[in-house]
């Protein structure tokens, strides 16, 4: 409907509101009286995820992606509450990454349905640490040092699209490249790094403002006195993303980070790859149980019954199979905090980090999620609306 209204409990206050829209734009959000329909119905801004490597069986790292495949991923993301993402490309040869980016961008620009959800790019590599553990699932043989010329090429390739660039500041020339990227209008996040305190400070002074999936992209064993976790948490002002699937970051560390940082400094991301939101996958027998297999670029990955994504025979993780809405309730479970508070870490906070409007207020697009909760507080149904039309 181009025009309409709906009454529900708003996650920001917990109180009933009536949201009205005309011509697919919100015209008012006003207090409403309690009613039977607002007992279990909640309204929330759509989820925003700044690190999506693939979804619904679609691997974003492929060179032969079609617009139909991208629409499959986008529709599944909307079904799961997420209406805006950064399309994430991981470490590869730079020329291959730029070719992939140019081709994918042309598909997105030609399709309104894709443009509405794929809002920009997260370039995670190849300017990362090649050290074992810190490189994670990225191929260290394809990593290189950043230069202003490469940053210029990235800016030219992405046009005026939003770009989030993850780098390891200890790489040669990286601090200068960070300053250049920021001057080119990019957001810079640190990650997959074993940078010293001095190198991290220099990166922040050059304009880096974020840290990508803190607690991951590092070895399982760290020095208890001096490690990348303590260094990052000791630097004021950095906004960190956390993967909220209960596996990538232990519940204990997840809670401690939530207590240490201010709420607006924490963004939740799924770091989803093609297994997330997928109904089927290639089944590979593994003894009495089975594991589904998916791809992430050149990697062939297995997803067990626990939902954890690993390279065959290895223990390290490689992205996640987490859906955005499931992550909200897992975060609430880990922290013991109300789910509406965790919803903000996956909606308003990442949007604000990128400089995007996302609040439900007059003048904004009529995009929102309606959640119906069970008596025990669990999620019964989720419906996502874009332009006031239900898309899930």
Angle formed at CA 327 by CA 320 and CA 104, multiple of 5 degrees: 50
Q: pTM for the whole thing?
A: 0.94
Looking up tokens 């089975």 gives 290
Give the SS3 label for residue 136: coil
The pLDDT assigned to 299 comes to 79
Give the pLDDT score at 38: 85
Q: What is the C-alpha to C-alpha distance for residues 164 and 288, in angstroms, rounded to an integer?
A: 43
- Name beta bridge partners: 247: none
Does 62 share its domain with 133? Answer: yes
Provide the pLDDT confidence category of residue 284 given band limits of 50, 70 and 90: very low
Q: Which of 262, 251, 264 is nearest to 336 (CA)?
A: 251
CB 52 within 8 A of CB 77: yes
Distance CA 100, CA 92 (A): 10
Q: What is the reported pLDDT for 390?
A: 63
Q: 272: which DSSP letter?
A: B
**What does the pLDDT look like over 153-165, one tens digit per residue?**
999 999 999 999 9
Instruction: Give the model confidence (pLDDT) of 93-135 as tens digits.
Output: 999 999 999 999 999 999 999 999 999 999 999 999 999 999 9
Say whether both 31 and 148 belong to one domain. no
Scan for tokens 């929102």, then name that residue.
Answer: 368
Confidence of residue 285 (pLDDT cuts 50, 70, 90): very low
Q: 3-class DSSP state for residue 74?
A: helix
Q: Are 164 and 48 in contact (CB under 8 A)?
A: no
- Does 277 share its domain with 372? no
243 and 369 housed in the same domain = no
Please determine, for residue 287, whether its predicted confidence score (pLDDT) is greater than 80.
no
What is the torsional sign of CA 322, 325, 329, 331? Answer: positive
What proportion of the chain, given as a percentage, has pLDDT over 70?
96
Contact at 8 Å (CB) between 163 and 186?
Answer: yes
Q: Indicate whether 163 and 125 sit together in one domain.
A: yes
Domain that holds residue 370: 4-44+361-390
Do 178 and 233 fall within a single domain? yes
The tokens 């080119």 sit on which residue?
184
Residues 154 and 17 in one domain: no
**pLDDT score of 281 more than 90:** no
CA–CA gap between residue 230 and residue 176 (Å, rounded): 25
Same domain (yes/no): 149, 9: no
Give kind and range of the element (H or E) at residue 284.
strand 282-286
pLDDT of residue 327: 97
Q: Which residue has the higher pLDDT, 388 or 325?
A: 325
Tokens describing residue 104: 């994918």
| Count of the separate structural domains present in the chain | 2
CA dist 230 and 342 (Å) reads 23
Residues 80, 175, single domain; the answer is yes
Say which residue, 298 or 294, is predicted with more confidence: 294
d(CA 169, CA 134): 13
Kindly state whether residues 83 and 210 are assigned to the same domain: yes
Predicted local confidence at residue 288, as pLDDT: 46
Is the same domain home to 17 and 138? no
Structure tokens at 184: 């080119």
Q: Please determine, for residue 391, whether its predicted confidence score (pLDDT) is greater than 70.
A: no
Domain with residue 312: its CATH number is: 3.20.20.140
State the Cα–Cα distance between residues 73 and 322, nearest whole angstrom. Answer: 14
356: its two tokens: 């995007």
Q: What is residue 282's predicted lDDT score, i.e. its pLDDT? A: 47
Are residue 211 and residue 330 in the same domain, yes or no? yes
pLDDT, tens only, 224-272: 999 999 999 999 889 999 999 999 999 999 999 999 999 999 999 999 9
| pLDDT for position 340 | 96
Q: What is the DSSP letter of 224?
A: S
CA distance 52 to 89: 9
H/E stretch holding 10 reads strand 4-10
For a pLDDT cut of 90, what percent of the chain falls above it? 82
Q: How far apart are CA 371 and CA 380, in angstroms?
A: 7
Q: Is residue 138 over pLDDT 50? A: yes
Residue in the structure block whose two tokens are 């509101």: 17
What is the rounded CA–CA span in Å between residue 136 and residue 311? 11
Band (283; pLDDT cuts 50, 70, 90): very low
């Amino acid at each position: 409907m181009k025009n309409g209204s709906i009454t529900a409990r708003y996650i920001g206050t917990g109180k009933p509101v009536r949201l009205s829209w005309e011509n697919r734009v919100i015209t008012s959000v006003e207090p409403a009286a309690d009613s039977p329909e607002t007992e279990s119905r909640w309204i929330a801004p759509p989820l925003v995820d700044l690190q999506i490597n693939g979804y619904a069986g679609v691997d974003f790292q492929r060179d032969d992606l079609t617009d139909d495949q991208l629409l499959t991923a986008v529709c599944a993301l909307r079904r799961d509450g997420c209406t805006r993402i950064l399309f994430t490309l991981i470490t590869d040869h730079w020329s291959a990454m730029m070719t992939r980016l140019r081709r994918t961008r042309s598909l997105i620009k030609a399709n309104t349905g894709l443009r509405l959800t794929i809002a920009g790019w997260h370039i995670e590599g190849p300017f990362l640490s090649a050290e074992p553990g810190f490189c994670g699932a990225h191929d260290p043989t394809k990593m290189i040092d950043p230069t202003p010329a490469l940053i210029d090429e990235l800016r030219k390739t992405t046009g005026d699209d939003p770009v989030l660039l993850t780098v390891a500041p200890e790489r040669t020339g990286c601090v200068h490249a960070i300053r250049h990227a920021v001057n080119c209008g990019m957001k810079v996040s640190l990650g997959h790094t074993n940078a010293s305190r001095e190198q991290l400070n220099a990166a922040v002074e050059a304009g880096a403002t974020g840290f990508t999936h803190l607690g991951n992209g590092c070895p399982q064993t760290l020095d208890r006195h001096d490690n990348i976790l303590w260094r990052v948490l000791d630097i004021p002002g950095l906004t960190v993303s956390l993967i909220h699937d209960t596996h990538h970051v232990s519940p204990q560390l997840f809670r401690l980070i939530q207590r240490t940082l201010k709420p607006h400094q924490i963004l939740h991301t799924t770091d989803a790859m093609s297994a997330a939101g997928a109904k089927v996958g290639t089944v590979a027998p593994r003894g009495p149980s089975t594991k589904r297999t998916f791809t992430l670029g050149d990697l062939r990955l297995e997803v067990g019954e626990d939902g954890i994504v690993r390279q065959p025979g290895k223990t390290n993780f490689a992205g996640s199979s987490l859906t955005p809405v499931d992550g909200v309730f897992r975060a609430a479970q880990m922290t013991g905090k109300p789910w509406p508070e965790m919803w903000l870490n996956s909606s308003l906070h990442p949007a604000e980090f990128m400089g995007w409007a996302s609040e439900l207020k007059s003048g904004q697009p009529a995009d929102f999620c309606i959640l119906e909760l069970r008596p025990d507080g669990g999620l019964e149904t989720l419906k996502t609306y874009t332009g006031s039309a239900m898309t899930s």
